[in-house]
Structure 1
Amino acid sequence: MQIRKFVNREEELKTLEKLYEKKGFTLVLVTGRRRIGKSRLVREFLKDTSAIAVQFEKRVWEYNLGKLNRAIGEHFGIPSPNFSTFSDAFRFIVSQSQERVVVFLDEFSYLLRYSDVEAEFQSIVDEVLPESNIMLILSASSVGMLKRSFFNYSSPLYGRSDATLNLPPLRFKHLFEWFNEIAPDDAVKLYAVTSGVPRYLELFNGRNVEGEIEENFFNPNAFLFREAKELLEEELREPETYYTILEAVAKGKSRVNEIAQYSYVEPKNTARYMRILEELGILMRELPVGRKAKRGIYRFKDLYFAFWFRFVAPYFEEIESGFPDGALEEFRTNFNHYLGFAFEEIAKQFLIELNRGRKVPFRFTKIGRWWYKGEEIDLVALNEREKKALLIEVKWKRLNERDARGILKDLERKAKLVGLDGWKKHYGIVAKEIEGEEGLREGGYIVWDLEDFERLMDAYCQDNGASPPG
C-alpha cells in the first residue's frame, strides 16, 4: 500500500482554518462514509495547531474516556488524569486553556454506539464549553449514527453544530493528481472500481490495472474483497436485507416493485431501506431529466459497491474457499461492459467540468439521464430559462465516423420524444475513441473522447502542480 499525497480537500481545509480563527466555542462535525479521508483531513488541519486528538474505538465508554485522559496528560505535560466523566475532562481542558485549543474526537460514532452519552455531551456543549475558546471537532464513519444524534429533531444534540463538513469521494479528475502518471483509460478502470475513495486508491499503483483489480478483489485475503460486506454489517441493523436489495440492483432491478419482489420485502417497507441506502451514498434515486415522472428508478451511486455486487458477491463463497476461477472468468468477460455503466458517471463529471469552464455551447443548470417507454438518452443537460438543451450519448467503445453519425442520427430521432419543442438543441457524443472528430464537429456536432479528457486533465494537473497523465 502506498500513502499518497493529500488531494482535493482545499475547500474543507479553508473552512476549518476560518472556523479556527474565530474566537469562542466552535463545534464542527465531519461526516462521510468510511475510508473517505475524514481523519486525514482533520489531522492535516491540526499540523500547525494546538490540539488534543483522540481516536475512539469499539470499546466501552470507560476505555475511550481513558484514552481522552491520556491525551489530556500528554497535551498539558502532566501525569494522565483520572477523570470519571467526560464532563470533568472538558471542565479541566477549559480551565487550563486560555489560547485557542482544538479537541478532535475521531470515530465519535463508536462512543455513541457503545454508550449512552448523548445527554452528557449536550450538557458539555450547552454548559461547559460555551464560554471557552475551544474548537471541538467530532468525526464519524457511521453516518447514520451521527445523523440520528445531530440531525434528528428529538435528539439532545440536535442543531448544536456550527458547521458540518460532509466529505464526498474524489472525482475522476483527481485521479490524475493522485497518480503522477496514469493513462486515461486506466484511470477510468480504477475509478470504476474505487469510486474515488482515497483508502481504496492507496491499494493501487496505476500500472497493470486489471491485474491489480484481480488481486484486490478476487483474493480472499485482500482488503477490498471483504470491505463491502463488512461495511454493511458495521453500518446497518439488518445487513442481510440490504445485501439482498443491492444484489437485486446489481442484477438490473431498478424499480421498487422489482427490488421488493427479488428481495422478499413488502413494497411498502422497501422505501425505508432504499432511503437509508441513499443516505449512505450507495444508491441514488433518479428521475428522468426533461419530463415529469412520479416514480424514479434506483441505480448505484457508489461504483465500488456497484462493481463488488456485480462481480464479487455472486462468487463470494467460492473466492473465500480459494476457488476464484468462475469470478475471474466473469470479470474478464464482462468488465468492459460494466465500464460502460461507470463511464456514464465519468462523462457526466467531464461535462460538469466543461460547464464550469464555459467550454460548452451554453451554461446548463441541470444534467441527468432521460428515458421513456424503452427509449433512453444517456445525458441531457438543460438551461430551462434560456430553453437550450444538450443531448449526449455515452459510448465506452471505439467509434469510426460512420458509427458516430449513426448514433447522432438516432439521437436526433429520440430528441423529438423528449418534448422540448421550441428549444435550441445541441447533439453530441462522449466515447472512448472517435475517428473523424473534425468532420463531425464541422457538421455542428459536439464530440469528445479520452484524448479530450487527457487534455483537460493535463490542464488540471498543471494548475495543481501534479504531473500530467500519460
Structure 2
Amino acid sequence: MQRFIGRKRELRVLSETLGSVTAAIGSARPGRCILMRGRRRVGKSSLVEEFIRRSGAPSVFFTAAGGSAEDELEELLDAVTTSTLPERDLFAEEAPQQWNAAFRLLAQILPDDRPSVVVIDEVPYLMDRVDAFEGMLQRAWDRLLSRKPVLLLLIGSDLSMMEALNDYDRPFHQRGREMILGPLNPSDLAEMLGLEPADAFDAALITGGLPLICSEWPQGASMWDFLSTSLSNPISALLVSAERSLAAEFPPQAMGREVLKAIGTGERTFTNIARAAGGIAHTTLTRATELLTAKRVVAAELPLSTRPSKERRYRVADPYLRFWLAFLGPHMAEIERMRGDLTLARIREQWTAWRGRAVEPLVRDSLARLLPDQGLPTAPAIGAYWTRSNDIEIDLVGADREPVARQLLFLGSIKWLEKAPFDSHDLAALHKHRAALTGEPVPLVVVSRSGVTCTGPQAVYGPGELLSAWQAS
C-alpha cells in the first residue's frame, strides 16, 4: 500500500474532533460536524479514508454522484448497507423512500456507546438536486444526529457552495466547523518525491500538489523524466485530471470554459481575454470572470500600492491547471497520436519564461508563512505592483492592507533562473522601480533561485528558505 504523505495537521484535527465526540458520550449532544472543502482531486476523500482507517471507528462513506434525488437516495442506501455500522442490516430492511426518513433511520442505527463516522461526499450535488436538502439536513442534525456520538463529515469540491452552506442565512449555519484542504505543499513534495528544494517548487508548479498526479512521479526522478513518461501515456493523471475537473464544473457549452482557456494561455487583462475568447461581449465576459473567481478557479488581482488602481489582472489560481492549460490541453491531439515528444520539446523551449511568472504566487505564499524574518515585519498583504504599460513591475509588495495600502512594508524582486543569480544590475532596476512607486526608503527583499552576488537587500531568500516555510505546517 502506498505510504500516506502529508496532511499531518488535518489528520490531527480530525482525530482530536473524534476524541471530543468520545469524551462527550453520555451528554445531550456529543455529535460534531466538520465542513471540508477543497478543489477537485486535491485528496479530500483519500484523507478521510485514511483517517477512518486509523481511527477504527464504525463508519459509512456516501458519495453523491449528481443524479436525481431518487438515485442519490438509492446510493445512500447501498453505502449504508455495505458500511461498517453495526446496525446496517436494519437500513436495508426498511429501505427508506424519503430523505427525511433516511436521515431518521441513519441516526437510529448509529451506536450510542462508541463514536462513529458518517461521511457525505460531494454535498453540493445534493444541495443542487434534492429539494430543501439543507433544511432536511439541519433538522436531522438538530433533532437526531447531534444527539448521537457521531462525527459528521460534509465534503465538497464546489468551494462557493460549501462556503454558502455555512452562511448566516442558511439552515445549517454554525452547525459545523470549517476545514479547507489545500494541495500537498512543496515540503510534502520534497519528502514524497525525494527532491531538492528548488526541484520541489518545480514539482508544485507542474502537479499542483494533487496527490493522484504526485503518486505517478517516481521517487527521485527529475522533472523532465516525469514529464517524458507522463506525456507518453495518454491516460496519465497529469493529462486527464484537468479535463475531468473542467467537465465536472463547466459543461462544454459554458462560456466560462472558453474564458478560462484564454487566461490559461497567458492573457491577463480584460481586453486581451475578450479578444482571445473570440471577441465576446463585455457583459458575457463579466459574468464568466465572476463565475470563475467565485469558484476560486481564477484569481482577479489589483496592483498593491498606496494609490488606487483599476488595472485588474487575472490568473489561473491552481498551478497544475495553469500548467495544463498552457502546455497540455491545447495539444492533446498530438499527445494522443503518441507525439508527446513534440509537446515536451515545446515545454522545454518555454519553461523558463513560463516558470518565472508562475512561481510568483507560490513565493508570495511562502513569504507570508515565513514573516516576520530577517528584519522584515509580518505583512497582512503581500502582492505585486504594475502599471498599464508595464514600464514598472515589482514582484513583491508587502503592505498593511490591500488593495490600497496605508503603509508599504517592503518591496522586492523574484529572479527564478537556474544559472543566473540576482546581481547588481537587478538591484539597480529594483531601486529604480521603488523610486517610481514611493519616495520612502522601504526595505528591499530578494528571492533568487541561484543566489545573490550583490549587497544591499535587507533580506534574501532562496529555495531552501522558502521550503522551510512549509515545513512548519
Structure 2 counterpart of 1:297: 313
The Cα of 1:71 is off from its aligned counterpart by 4.0
Residue 76 of structure 1 is aligned with which of 87, 90, 99?
87
Q: Do the aligned residues in 2 keep the contact of 1:169 with 1:195 (CA within 8 Å)?
A: yes
- Counterpart CA distance in 2 for 1:210 and 1:224 is 13
Give deviations 1:199-242, integer Å, cap 9, x for gaps.
Answer: 22222124122121233246322222122122111112455523
Helix, strand or coil: the match of 1:204? Answer: coil
Q: Would the alpha carbon gap of residues 216 and 114 (structure 1) be closer, same or farther in structure 2, given more than 3 Å must change?
A: farther
The Cα of 1:306 is off from its aligned counterpart by 0.8
Structure 2 counterpart of 1:446: 459
- Counterpart CA distance in 1 for 2:250 and 2:74 is 24
Give deviations 1:293-331, integer Å, cap 9, x for gaps.
Answer: 235210122111111111112212222233334322211
- Counterpart CA distance in 1 for 2:342 and 2:195 is 29
Structure 2 unaligned segments of length 5 or more: list them: none
Q: Would the alpha carbon gap of residues 429 and 296 (structure 1) be closer, same or farther in structure 2, given more than 3 Å must change?
A: same
- Counterpart CA distance in 2 for 1:101 and 1:73 is 9
Q: Structure 1 vs Structure 2: percent identity of aligned residues?
A: 22
The Cα of 1:64 is off from its aligned counterpart by 0.9
Structure 2 counterpart of 1:177: 191
1:129 aligned onto 2:145: yes
- Counterpart CA distance in 1 for 2:59 and 2:159 is 23
Structure 1 unaligned segments of length 5 or more: list them: 465-470
Q: Do the aligned residues in 2 keep the contact of 1:57 with 1:64 (CA within 8 Å)?
A: yes
* 1:190-209 correspondence to structure 2 within 5 Å: 190-205=203-218, 206-209=220-223
Helix, strand or coil: the match of 1:433? Answer: coil
- Counterpart CA distance in 2 for 1:292 and 1:218 is 48
Counterpart amino acid of 1:413?
A: K
* 1:360-399 correspondence to structure 2 within 5 Å: 360-372=375-387, 373-374=389-390, 375-383=392-400, 387=407, 389-398=409-418
1:31 aligned onto 2:37: yes
**TM-score, normalisation: structure 2:** 0.83
Q: Do the aligned residues in 1 keep the contact of 2:80 with 2:88 (CA within 8 Å)?
A: no
Tell me how many residue pairs correspond in the alignment: 448
Q: Would the alpha carbon gap of residues 350 and 77 (structure 1) be closer, same or farther in structure 2, given more than 3 Å must change?
A: closer
Give deviations 1:145-166, integer Å, cap 9, x for gaps.
Answer: 545655494x6x4526321212
Structure 1 counterpart of 2:235: 221
- Counterpart CA distance in 2 for 1:399 and 1:318 is 32
Structure 2 counterpart of 1:281: 296
Residue 168 of structure 1 is aligned with which of 182, 188, 201?
182
Residue 349 of structure 1 is aligned with which of 365, 370, 383?
365
Q: Do the aligned residues in 1 keep the contact of 2:262 with 2:276 (CA within 8 Å)?
A: yes
Counterpart amino acid of 2:428?
A: K
Give deviations 1:27-83, integer Å, cap 9, x for gaps.
Answer: 321111111121233234333253322232535124313224404675337464332
Give deviations 1:420-446, integer Å, cap 9, x for gaps.
Answer: x3x44222321221353xxx34x4553
The Cα of 1:195 is off from its aligned counterpart by 1.7
Q: Do the aligned residues in 1 keep the contact of 2:5 with 2:188 (CA within 8 Å)?
A: no
- Counterpart CA distance in 1 for 2:84 and 2:376 is 61
Q: Do the aligned residues in 2 keep the contact of 1:318 with 1:324 (CA within 8 Å)?
A: yes
Structure 2 counterpart of 1:467: none
Q: Do the aligned residues in 1 keep the contact of 2:450 with 2:462 (CA within 8 Å)?
A: yes
1:256 aligned onto 2:270: yes
Helix, strand or coil: the match of 1:253? Answer: coil
**TM-score, normalisation: structure 1:** 0.84
Structure 2 counterpart of 1:405: 424
Q: Do the aligned residues in 2 keep the contact of 1:56 with 1:110 (CA within 8 Å)?
A: no
Q: Would the alpha carbon gap of residues 192 and 147 (structure 1) be closer, same or farther in structure 2, given more than 3 Å must change?
A: same
The Cα of 1:415 is off from its aligned counterpart by 0.5
Helix, strand or coil: the match of 1:75? Answer: coil
Counterpart amino acid of 2:325?
A: F
1:95 aligned onto 2:94: no
Q: Would the alpha carbon gap of residues 319 and 108 (structure 1) be closer, same or farther in structure 2, given more than 3 Å must change?
A: same
- Counterpart CA distance in 2 for 1:55 and 1:239 is 30
Residue 308 of structure 1 is aligned with which of 315, 319, 324?
324
Q: Do the aligned residues in 1 keep the contact of 2:371 with 2:378 (CA within 8 Å)?
A: yes
